[in-house]
Structure 1
Amino acid sequence: MAPPAPPAAAPDADHRYISTDQRRVHISAHQRRTDATAVGNLLLYLPNFLASLFVVTLVSAFFGGLGLILVLAWLVSGVLVFHRPTESAVARRLLGLRYPTPQERERLEPVWREVTARAGVEGRTYELWIEDSDDLNAVAAAGHIVGVTRFSMNALPSGELAAVLAHELGHHVGGHAWSSLLGYWYALPGRIAWRVMRAFGRIVFKVSRVFSCFGVGFVLLVFGAFAFATISTLYGLPLLVLALPYALAAVSRRAELRADQHAAALGFAPMLATVLDKLHQADQQQALAARAHNGGVPLQEPSALSKLLSSHPDHHTRLHHLQPYLQPSR
């Protein structure tokens, strides 16, 4: 059963505000789905997963008979993404979030009820969290976390706050939040091993310099042979890791556009456009402040390569994709 269409706003209504009168929620049959963005994100993490599996298997070999148990335990550990106590630890320790106070709940819950009512989603499935920050921001994480900054909660009118929450709900409904955390978790052993090897390589390189160029050449030869053996054994798969950050960033940008479309389809397109304008103005003010701090000299523009690593689309791209929802109905 599809969620009901959002109620039409009066022609002269101020879109910054919405009615938050409690009403019946028509729950849709499918609370979540895994869209193409979530699937693509998981597939892109596959090389990192295989590298992590190799690292975990290598480490577990030192534990004899317990090694297989350790590998299996790591493989099933991904279910913790949906474990509520683990999610709470992620929210507190990694994201710096906290539970809302009773006064903050009075502010958030009516707006959240309106968002979930339009989406046909059971609002109690998710937990609202607060970030003590003066930035305009929000986050969707793990399986049930929806976080919003204190500034967003206090400074945004109800309509704009609803647009922000609807955007984050879009990440959950589309599977973006859990797939990102799951991919990050299974890539972690490989990343840790890479950092350890890189630190060890720096130490060895510095020590080898003491023993002249011969020592440096020997170290480069050993590491080069190891790299060649790894790449040839795994059929060049490690080379894909070099391109992964760019591919993951592209998928992340697509996920942001999907979440924008989710909020717009619920009737929050004008409010979301206003929030995007505020974010754009805040970025411009930061750029002006940085320029003033730099003695009035304009800062260097980001390179085309660095833009490819951005996790969010630029302001104009997001507004362009909202245009179909901002056109007046005929």
Structure 2
Amino acid sequence: MTQPPPGYPEYPEYPQQSAQIPPQYPQQQPQQPTYPQTPYTYPQAPQGSAPIPPQYPQTPPQAPLTPPAQAPAPAPAAKPAPSEDPNHPNHINTDARRVHIASQQRHTDATAVGNLLLYLPNFLCSLAVVGLFSAFFGKLAFVVILLWLASGALVFHRPTESALARRLLHLRYPTPQERAKIEPVWREVTARAGVEGRNYELWVEDSNGLNAVAAAGHIVGVTRFALNELPNGELAAVMAHELGHHVGGHAWSGLLGYWYALPGRMAWRVLKAVSVVAFHVSRAFGCFGVAFVVMIVGGLAFATISTLYGLPLLILGVPYALAAVGRRAELRADEHAAALGFAPMLASVLDKLHQGEQHEQAAQTARNGGVPVEESALSKLLSSHPDYHTRLHHLQQYLQPQRPY
């Protein structure tokens, strides 16, 4: 070992060789815990009791003398009414959707104009009657005539329309349940027509007949039968037909003409009643009395005709002309409903009306002893509605499938 220089401490001594002792590992595996070796003894059955076999009946059971009562068969499901059956072929979807409102809500077609022109003779006769009546008011006679002329505006007055609907047409407001049925249908009809449906009022007639009405300027009424028995597609076709009367101006023009013809009609009824009474009184005086009354009535009629330039003679033909215009207006309203896509539904409604008419004719024939009751030609000319064959014929162009272009 090298000696350190003088003045320095001695180097520390290090071991020359260090033997590394390996770690000690366990030589034996750890023993598993021991459990008790006592075997399990199962419980012993009691020695003094032998198992008893089950007892079975020696004789077969007797069948009951009366068969057990069977449970009643479930009643068949009630068939939904046509108005509530979504699987009906004439059912339509009335879900709310976007609506395009047309810029022109109404117009006055040729039938409406013709209706007003045909009422002109009645209007002039009524004006003459009002003029004679106003003579009793002296200086206020002109005011009375002006008030009568201005009274035509009441046709478009909502409270007056409601009064007419209740008193003359026997309509009423729908109940909440009826409104829940009729409003979605009306919304679908007006949506297809591009018309604001809120401008019109919906009414119901307590009737068991299939009918509807368009009155005044804003009233659409349907019967209770049509509301509850028709599928919503057929009800929509009926309401689309009535909307056609409003859109074409048929409803307001007819009511306006009827309003201004009332004084003349009332005067005619008074003259007719007076003539009948005078004729019956004159019969008490024999032939001389009858001849006298005939001369008086004939003289008044001739004076009236000559004074009014034959106008009363035109009035005799007005009912037939108005009936012809009314039949044309019905066909126009049918075309309006068919153009909105309700042609099949409207044809089904017309078929039902035709069947109802045939049943009524059969009942009248039975009451008449089997002799059929035929409608006269004059009554056909006075009918305001065309026959069902004519109406169905005009619908054929809308019922035929469209050819592809």
Q: Same fold (TM over 0.5)?
A: yes
1:224 aligns with 2:298: yes
- 1:244-303 Cα distance to aligned partner (Å, 9 max, x none): 11100000000000000000000000000000000000101111122222233322x112
Partner of 2:160: 86
Aligned equivalent of 2:315, options 241, 246, 270 = 241
Determine the C-alpha separation between the residues in 1 that align with 2:130 and 2:220: 32
3-state SS of paired residue (1:18): coil
1:310 aligns with 2:383: yes
Aligned equivalent of 2:114, options 40, 44, 65 = 40
Determine the C-alpha separation between the residues in 2 that align with 1:14 and 1:217: 68
Return the offset for 1:14.
5.9
- 1:168-226 Cα distance to aligned partner (Å, 9 max, x none): 00000000000111000000000000000111111111112222222221211121111
3-state SS of paired residue (2:281): helix
User: Is the Cα–Cα contact under 8 Å of residues 27 and 122 in structure 1 kept in the other structure?
Assistant: yes
Partner of 1:153: 227
The residue type equivalent to 1:59 in the other structure is F
Determine the C-alpha separation between the residues in 1 that align with 2:188 and 2:397: 23
3-state SS of paired residue (2:99): coil
Determine the C-alpha separation between the residues in 1 that align with 2:341 and 2:116: 30
Q: TM-score, normalised by structure 1?
A: 0.94
1:181 aligns with 2:247: no
Determine the C-alpha separation between the residues in 2 that align with 1:190 and 1:129: 31
User: Is the Cα–Cα contact under 8 Å of residues 209 and 225 in structure 2 kept in the other structure?
Assistant: yes
What is the CA RMSD across the aligned residues, in angstroms? Answer: 1.0
Return the offset for 1:82.
0.4
1:260 aligns with 2:334: yes
Determine the C-alpha separation between the residues in 2 that align with 1:93 and 1:113: 27
- Count of matched residue pairs: 317
Determine the C-alpha separation between the residues in 1 that align with 2:369 and 2:279: 39
Return the offset for 1:61.
0.2
Partner of 1:272: 346
The residue type equivalent to 1:325 in the other structure is Y
User: Is the Cα–Cα contact under 8 Å of residues 111 and 250 in structure 2 kept in the other structure?
Assistant: yes
**5+ residue gaps in structure 1?**
1-12
Determine the C-alpha separation between the residues in 2 that align with 1:15 and 1:166: 18
Specify which structure has the higher proportion of helix. Answer: 1
The residue type equivalent to 1:262 in the other structure is H
Partner of 2:212: 138
3-state SS of paired residue (2:213): strand
Partner of 2:402: 329
Determine the C-alpha separation between the residues in 2 that align with 1:24 and 1:225: 67
3-state SS of paired residue (2:222): strand
More RCO (CA 8 Å, sep 6+): 1
Determine the C-alpha separation between the residues in 2 that align with 1:178 and 1:317: 25
1:204 aligns with 2:273: no
Determine the C-alpha separation between the residues in 1 that align with 2:334 and 2:215: 16
For residues 240 and 15 of structure 1, do their structure 2 counterparts lie closer, same or farther at Cα, with a shift above 3 Å needed?
A: farther
User: Is the Cα–Cα contact under 8 Å of residues 163 and 271 in structure 1 kept in the other structure?
Assistant: yes
3-state SS of paired residue (1:49): helix
Report the more deviating stretch, 270-279 or 209-218: 209-218
Report the more deviating stretch, 240-249 or 208-217: 208-217
Partner of 1:128: 202
Determine the C-alpha separation between the residues in 1 that align with 2:377 and 2:290: 34
- 1:116-157 Cα distance to aligned partner (Å, 9 max, x none): 000000000100000000000000000000000000000000
The residue type equivalent to 1:82 in the other structure is F
Return the offset for 1:233.
1.6
Q: TM-score, normalised by structure 2?
A: 0.77
Could you list the structure 1 runs, at least 4 aligned residues long, displaced by more than 3 angstroms after superposition: none
Return the offset for 1:15.
4.5
Q: Which has the larger radius of gyration?
A: 2
User: Is the Cα–Cα contact under 8 Å of residues 213 and 220 in structure 2 kept in the other structure?
Assistant: yes
Determine the C-alpha separation between the residues in 2 that align with 1:132 and 1:311: 23
Report the more deviating stretch, 205-214 or 80-89: 205-214
Determine the C-alpha separation between the residues in 2 that align with 1:205 and 1:14: 62
Determine the C-alpha separation between the residues in 2 that align with 1:54 and 1:232: 14
Return the offset for 1:320.
0.5
Return the offset for 1:305.
1.8
The residue type equivalent to 1:214 in the other structure is F
The residue type equivalent to 1:316 in the other structure is H
User: Is the Cα–Cα contact under 8 Å of residues 15 and 271 in structure 1 kept in the other structure?
Assistant: no
3-state SS of paired residue (1:211): helix
Determine the C-alpha separation between the residues in 1 that align with 2:370 and 2:286: 46
